[in-house]
Amino acid sequence: MRSGFVALAGRPNVGKSTLVNTLCGGKVAIVSDKPQTTRRRIFGIANGDDWQLVLADLPGFQRPRDPLTERMQRTVDQSLEEIEAILFVLDARERIGAGDRYIAQCVFSLGVPVVIALNKVDQLKPGHIASQMQTAAELGDFRALHPVSAKTGDGVAELREELVELLPEGPAYFPAEQTTSLSLEEQIAELVREKALQLTREEVPHAITVEVDELTEKVARVILYVETDSQKQILVGKGGAVIKEIGVRARPEIEHLLGRRTFLELQVKARPRWRRDEAMLERLGL
Ligand SMILES: Nc1nc2c(ncn2[C@@H]2O[C@H](COP(=O)(O)OP(=O)(O)OP(=O)(O)O)[C@@H](O)[C@H]2O)c(=O)[nH]1
Ligand SMILES: [Mg+2]
Protein backbone atom coordinates (compact mmCIF):
# COMPACT_ATOMS: atom_id res chain seq x y z
CA MET A 1 0.00 0.00 0.00
CA ARG A 2 1.20 3.52 -0.86
CA SER A 3 -0.11 6.46 1.13
CA GLY A 4 0.70 9.99 2.15
CA PHE A 5 -0.11 13.66 2.31
CA VAL A 6 0.19 16.21 -0.47
CA ALA A 7 -0.48 19.90 0.23
CA LEU A 8 -1.88 22.39 -2.27
CA ALA A 9 -0.14 25.72 -2.57
CA GLY A 10 -1.01 28.69 -4.74
CA ARG A 11 -2.50 32.15 -4.92
CA PRO A 12 -6.12 32.65 -3.86
CA ASN A 13 -8.71 31.74 -6.49
CA VAL A 14 -6.45 29.65 -8.77
CA GLY A 15 -8.72 26.62 -8.32
CA LYS A 16 -7.06 24.63 -5.52
CA SER A 17 -10.34 23.52 -3.96
CA THR A 18 -11.91 22.70 -7.31
CA LEU A 19 -8.87 20.58 -8.10
CA VAL A 20 -9.05 18.76 -4.74
CA ASN A 21 -12.68 17.94 -5.48
CA THR A 22 -11.88 16.63 -8.94
CA LEU A 23 -8.89 14.63 -7.68
CA CYS A 24 -11.10 13.09 -4.97
CA GLY A 25 -14.04 12.51 -7.29
CA GLY A 26 -16.54 14.31 -5.07
CA LYS A 27 -17.25 17.55 -3.25
CA VAL A 28 -14.86 17.97 -0.36
CA ALA A 29 -14.26 21.69 -0.33
CA ILE A 30 -16.50 24.60 -1.23
CA VAL A 31 -15.61 26.72 -4.22
CA SER A 32 -16.39 30.29 -5.25
CA ASP A 33 -15.30 32.99 -7.64
CA LYS A 34 -14.29 35.17 -4.65
CA PRO A 35 -10.70 34.96 -3.38
CA GLN A 36 -10.10 33.61 0.15
CA THR A 37 -12.92 31.09 0.01
CA THR A 38 -10.93 28.43 1.83
CA ARG A 39 -10.11 29.52 5.36
CA ARG A 40 -8.76 26.38 6.97
CA ARG A 41 -7.05 23.14 6.09
CA ILE A 42 -9.35 20.44 4.76
CA PHE A 43 -8.15 16.96 3.94
CA GLY A 44 -9.66 15.46 0.82
CA ILE A 45 -9.06 11.74 0.51
CA ALA A 46 -8.68 9.85 -2.77
CA ASN A 47 -8.55 6.07 -2.60
CA GLY A 48 -7.33 3.48 -5.06
CA ASP A 49 -7.02 -0.30 -4.80
CA ASP A 50 -3.59 -0.11 -3.22
CA TRP A 51 -3.08 3.56 -2.44
CA GLN A 52 -4.51 6.45 -0.45
CA LEU A 53 -3.72 10.02 -1.44
CA VAL A 54 -4.56 12.61 1.20
CA LEU A 55 -4.76 16.12 -0.25
CA ALA A 56 -4.50 19.08 2.09
CA ASP A 57 -6.60 21.87 0.60
CA LEU A 58 -5.39 25.16 2.00
CA PRO A 59 -6.11 28.89 1.91
CA GLY A 60 -4.23 30.78 -0.78
CA PHE A 61 -0.96 32.48 0.14
CA GLN A 62 -1.66 36.05 1.25
CA ARG A 63 -0.33 38.94 3.23
CA PRO A 64 -2.21 38.88 6.58
CA ARG A 65 -4.43 41.90 7.27
CA ASP A 66 -6.18 40.89 10.48
CA PRO A 67 -6.22 37.99 12.97
CA LEU A 68 -8.36 35.87 10.61
CA THR A 69 -5.98 36.18 7.66
CA GLU A 70 -3.01 35.78 10.04
CA ARG A 71 -4.43 32.47 11.18
CA MET A 72 -5.10 31.44 7.57
CA GLN A 73 -1.50 32.11 6.55
CA ARG A 74 -0.23 30.31 9.68
CA THR A 75 -2.33 27.30 8.64
CA VAL A 76 -0.64 27.39 5.23
CA ASP A 77 2.86 27.60 6.70
CA GLN A 78 2.26 24.82 9.23
CA SER A 79 0.57 22.55 6.69
CA LEU A 80 3.64 22.57 4.46
CA GLU A 81 5.51 20.53 7.07
CA GLU A 82 5.51 16.73 7.19
CA ILE A 83 4.14 16.14 3.72
CA GLU A 84 5.32 13.94 0.86
CA ALA A 85 4.94 16.49 -1.91
CA ILE A 86 3.53 19.87 -2.88
CA LEU A 87 0.97 20.42 -5.58
CA PHE A 88 1.64 24.00 -6.71
CA VAL A 89 -1.41 25.33 -8.55
CA LEU A 90 -1.24 28.15 -11.11
CA ASP A 91 -4.04 29.86 -13.01
CA ALA A 92 -3.31 29.59 -16.74
CA ARG A 93 -5.71 32.48 -17.43
CA GLU A 94 -3.73 34.93 -15.34
CA ARG A 95 -0.27 36.32 -15.80
CA ILE A 96 2.20 34.15 -13.86
CA GLY A 97 3.90 36.84 -11.84
CA ALA A 98 5.36 38.09 -8.57
CA GLY A 99 2.76 36.38 -6.38
CA ASP A 100 3.54 33.01 -7.91
CA ARG A 101 7.30 33.59 -7.71
CA TYR A 102 7.00 34.43 -4.02
CA ILE A 103 5.16 31.13 -3.41
CA ALA A 104 7.69 29.31 -5.59
CA GLN A 105 10.55 30.56 -3.38
CA CYS A 106 8.78 29.03 -0.42
CA VAL A 107 7.67 25.70 -1.87
CA PHE A 108 10.87 24.89 -3.75
CA SER A 109 12.91 25.32 -0.57
CA LEU A 110 10.97 22.69 1.39
CA GLY A 111 12.99 19.72 0.17
CA VAL A 112 10.01 17.70 -1.10
CA PRO A 113 9.00 17.13 -4.74
CA VAL A 114 6.92 19.91 -6.26
CA VAL A 115 4.36 19.06 -8.92
CA ILE A 116 2.97 22.03 -10.81
CA ALA A 117 -0.64 22.04 -11.99
CA LEU A 118 -1.31 24.71 -14.59
CA ASN A 119 -5.06 24.94 -14.06
CA LYS A 120 -7.96 26.42 -16.03
CA VAL A 121 -6.60 25.47 -19.46
CA ASP A 122 -10.14 24.82 -20.71
CA GLN A 123 -11.02 27.18 -23.57
CA LEU A 124 -7.41 28.39 -23.88
CA LYS A 125 -5.62 28.22 -27.23
CA PRO A 126 -2.81 25.62 -27.40
CA GLY A 127 -0.23 28.35 -28.12
CA HIS A 128 -1.26 30.26 -25.02
CA ILE A 129 -1.09 27.10 -22.89
CA ALA A 130 2.39 26.36 -24.27
CA SER A 131 3.73 29.79 -23.40
CA GLN A 132 2.21 29.65 -19.92
CA MET A 133 3.83 26.22 -19.42
CA GLN A 134 7.15 27.71 -20.40
CA THR A 135 6.79 30.53 -17.86
CA ALA A 136 5.64 28.05 -15.20
CA ALA A 137 8.67 25.87 -15.86
CA GLU A 138 10.96 28.74 -14.90
CA LEU A 139 9.54 28.92 -11.37
CA GLY A 140 11.78 26.22 -9.97
CA ASP A 141 13.05 22.67 -10.10
CA PHE A 142 9.72 20.88 -10.41
CA ARG A 143 9.11 17.12 -10.58
CA ALA A 144 6.35 17.37 -13.17
CA LEU A 145 4.18 19.98 -14.82
CA HIS A 146 0.61 19.14 -15.78
CA PRO A 147 -1.76 21.39 -17.69
CA VAL A 148 -5.20 20.58 -16.27
CA SER A 149 -8.75 21.77 -16.04
CA ALA A 150 -10.18 21.09 -12.60
CA LYS A 151 -13.51 22.14 -14.05
CA THR A 152 -13.72 19.69 -16.97
CA GLY A 153 -11.40 17.08 -15.44
CA ASP A 154 -8.98 17.28 -18.37
CA GLY A 155 -5.53 16.04 -17.36
CA VAL A 156 -6.57 15.31 -13.78
CA ALA A 157 -6.28 11.50 -13.96
CA GLU A 158 -2.68 11.83 -15.20
CA LEU A 159 -1.93 14.31 -12.42
CA ARG A 160 -3.40 11.94 -9.82
CA GLU A 161 -1.22 9.09 -11.10
CA GLU A 162 1.85 11.30 -10.87
CA LEU A 163 1.04 12.21 -7.25
CA VAL A 164 0.36 8.60 -6.26
CA GLU A 165 3.75 7.60 -7.65
CA LEU A 166 5.39 10.03 -5.24
CA LEU A 167 3.82 8.36 -2.19
CA PRO A 168 5.90 6.05 0.00
CA GLU A 169 4.71 2.74 1.40
CA GLY A 170 2.38 3.37 4.28
CA PRO A 171 -0.96 2.63 5.93
CA ALA A 172 -4.38 4.02 5.06
CA TYR A 173 -4.73 7.12 7.23
CA PHE A 174 -8.51 7.32 6.80
CA PRO A 175 -11.19 4.65 6.37
CA ALA A 176 -11.91 4.02 2.67
CA GLU A 177 -15.45 5.45 2.81
CA GLN A 178 -14.31 8.77 4.28
CA THR A 179 -13.66 11.56 1.76
CA THR A 180 -13.11 14.55 4.04
CA SER A 181 -11.73 15.45 7.45
CA LEU A 182 -14.61 17.84 8.23
CA SER A 183 -17.40 16.83 10.61
CA LEU A 184 -21.00 16.81 9.36
CA GLU A 185 -21.66 20.11 11.14
CA GLU A 186 -18.61 21.70 9.54
CA GLN A 187 -19.62 20.45 6.09
CA ILE A 188 -23.12 21.88 6.53
CA ALA A 189 -21.74 25.24 7.65
CA GLU A 190 -19.41 25.32 4.64
CA LEU A 191 -22.21 24.49 2.21
CA VAL A 192 -24.31 27.33 3.58
CA ARG A 193 -21.31 29.67 3.35
CA GLU A 194 -20.75 28.63 -0.27
CA LYS A 195 -24.29 29.67 -1.21
CA ALA A 196 -23.91 32.92 0.75
CA LEU A 197 -20.71 33.66 -1.20
CA GLN A 198 -22.55 33.07 -4.49
CA LEU A 199 -25.17 35.66 -3.62
CA THR A 200 -23.00 38.45 -2.20
CA ARG A 201 -20.16 40.59 -3.45
CA GLU A 202 -17.53 43.22 -2.62
CA GLU A 203 -16.70 43.17 1.09
CA VAL A 204 -19.67 41.08 2.21
CA PRO A 205 -18.30 37.59 1.36
CA HIS A 206 -15.23 38.23 3.50
CA ALA A 207 -17.39 39.27 6.45
CA ILE A 208 -19.46 36.06 6.46
CA THR A 209 -18.86 33.12 8.73
CA VAL A 210 -21.25 30.28 9.41
CA GLU A 211 -21.80 28.02 12.39
CA VAL A 212 -24.19 25.10 12.95
CA ASP A 213 -26.00 25.80 16.18
CA GLU A 214 -27.97 22.56 16.34
CA LEU A 215 -28.25 19.42 14.26
CA THR A 216 -30.98 16.92 15.05
CA GLU A 217 -32.73 14.13 13.11
CA LYS A 218 -35.12 16.67 11.59
CA VAL A 219 -33.54 20.12 11.81
CA ALA A 220 -30.28 21.89 11.01
CA ARG A 221 -30.20 25.24 12.75
CA VAL A 222 -27.52 27.40 11.22
CA ILE A 223 -26.31 30.89 12.08
CA LEU A 224 -24.68 33.18 9.52
CA TYR A 225 -22.57 35.91 11.08
CA VAL A 226 -21.59 39.16 9.42
CA GLU A 227 -19.86 42.15 10.96
CA THR A 228 -22.31 45.03 10.57
CA ASP A 229 -26.04 45.70 10.47
CA SER A 230 -25.86 46.87 6.86
CA GLN A 231 -24.16 43.60 5.87
CA LYS A 232 -26.90 41.80 7.77
CA GLN A 233 -29.54 43.64 5.72
CA ILE A 234 -27.78 42.63 2.50
CA LEU A 235 -27.56 38.98 3.52
CA VAL A 236 -31.20 38.84 4.60
CA GLY A 237 -32.32 40.73 1.48
CA LYS A 238 -35.57 42.48 0.73
CA GLY A 239 -38.32 40.59 2.48
CA GLY A 240 -35.82 37.84 3.29
CA ALA A 241 -35.24 37.05 -0.40
CA VAL A 242 -31.47 36.48 -0.19
CA ILE A 243 -31.41 34.28 2.90
CA LYS A 244 -34.33 32.32 1.46
CA GLU A 245 -32.38 31.71 -1.76
CA ILE A 246 -29.36 30.57 0.28
CA GLY A 247 -31.63 28.00 1.91
CA VAL A 248 -33.10 26.87 -1.41
CA ARG A 249 -29.62 26.29 -2.82
CA ALA A 250 -28.07 24.70 0.29
CA ARG A 251 -30.85 22.37 1.35
CA PRO A 252 -30.63 19.75 -1.43
CA GLU A 253 -26.90 19.38 -0.87
CA ILE A 254 -27.34 19.14 2.89
CA GLU A 255 -30.07 16.53 2.47
CA HIS A 256 -27.81 14.59 0.12
CA LEU A 257 -25.01 14.77 2.68
CA LEU A 258 -27.22 13.64 5.58
CA GLY A 259 -29.15 11.13 3.49
CA ARG A 260 -32.48 12.37 4.83
CA ARG A 261 -34.95 15.22 4.53
CA THR A 262 -34.05 18.12 6.76
CA PHE A 263 -35.61 21.36 7.83
CA LEU A 264 -32.97 24.03 7.35
CA GLU A 265 -33.34 27.01 9.64
CA LEU A 266 -31.09 29.94 8.80
CA GLN A 267 -30.55 32.96 11.00
CA VAL A 268 -28.37 36.01 10.29
CA LYS A 269 -26.64 37.85 13.12
CA ALA A 270 -24.32 40.84 13.21
CA ARG A 271 -21.21 40.14 15.24
CA PRO A 272 -18.99 43.22 15.10
CA ARG A 273 -15.34 42.52 14.36
CA TRP A 274 -15.56 38.73 14.60
CA ARG A 275 -12.53 38.51 12.31
CA ARG A 276 -10.49 40.11 15.09
CA ASP A 277 -12.03 38.10 17.91
CA GLU A 278 -9.50 35.38 18.79
CA ALA A 279 -11.97 33.48 21.00
CA MET A 280 -14.57 33.44 18.21
CA LEU A 281 -11.97 32.38 15.62
CA GLU A 282 -10.88 29.57 17.93
CA ARG A 283 -14.48 28.41 18.36
CA LEU A 284 -14.98 28.42 14.60
CA GLY A 285 -11.91 26.21 14.23
CA LEU A 286 -10.09 28.84 12.20
N1 LIG B 1 -12.62 27.86 -16.24
C2 LIG B 1 -12.18 27.26 -15.13
N3 LIG B 1 -12.48 27.76 -13.93
C4 LIG B 1 -12.03 27.12 -12.84
C5 LIG B 1 -11.24 25.95 -12.91
N6 LIG B 1 -10.91 25.57 -11.66
C7 LIG B 1 -11.50 26.45 -10.83
N8 LIG B 1 -12.18 27.39 -11.54
C9 LIG B 1 -12.94 28.52 -11.00
O10 LIG B 1 -12.06 29.37 -10.27
C11 LIG B 1 -12.71 29.95 -9.15
C12 LIG B 1 -11.92 29.68 -7.89
O13 LIG B 1 -11.96 28.30 -7.60
P14 LIG B 1 -11.58 27.73 -6.15
O15 LIG B 1 -11.43 26.26 -6.29
O16 LIG B 1 -12.53 28.24 -5.12
O17 LIG B 1 -10.14 28.41 -5.97
P18 LIG B 1 -9.15 28.32 -4.70
O19 LIG B 1 -7.77 28.34 -5.23
O20 LIG B 1 -9.52 27.18 -3.82
O21 LIG B 1 -9.48 29.70 -3.99
P22 LIG B 1 -9.24 30.13 -2.44
O23 LIG B 1 -9.82 29.08 -1.57
O24 LIG B 1 -9.98 31.40 -2.34
O25 LIG B 1 -7.76 30.30 -2.29
C26 LIG B 1 -14.12 29.35 -9.13
O27 LIG B 1 -14.99 30.27 -9.76
C28 LIG B 1 -13.97 28.09 -9.95
O29 LIG B 1 -15.17 27.67 -10.58
C30 LIG B 1 -10.93 25.44 -14.22
O31 LIG B 1 -10.24 24.43 -14.41
N32 LIG B 1 -11.42 26.15 -15.27
MG1 LIG C 1 -10.11 27.12 -1.89
Question: Which residues form the pocket of ligand 1, taking CB atoms under 6 Å from any ligand atom?
Answer: 10, 12-18, 31-33, 35-38, 59-60, 119-120, 122, 149-151
What's the gap between Cα 282 and its chain centre?
A: 19
Average pLDDT, the chain: 97
pTM given for the model: 0.98
The Å distance, Cα 17 to ligand 1 centre, comes to 7
CA distance 244 to 240: 6
Question: Using one digit for the tens of pLDDT, what is the confidence trace for 87-101?
Answer: 999 999 999 999 999
Ligand nearest to the CA of 72: 1
The DSSP bridge partners found for residue 96 are none
Q: How far is CA 107 from CA 10, 52, 147, 166, 219, in A?
A: 10, 23, 19, 16, 44
The arithmetic mean of pLDDT across residues 214-243, rounded, is 98
Residue 81 CB neighbours (<10 A): 9
* Residue 18, phi then psi, degrees to nearest 5: -60, -40
pLDDT band at residue 228 under the 50/70/90 scheme: very high
Q: What is the pLDDT of residue 199?
A: 98
The strand pair at 51-57 and 2-9 is best described as: parallel
Residues with CB under 5 A from ligand 2 (ion): 16-17, 37-38
pLDDT band at residue 223 under the 50/70/90 scheme: very high
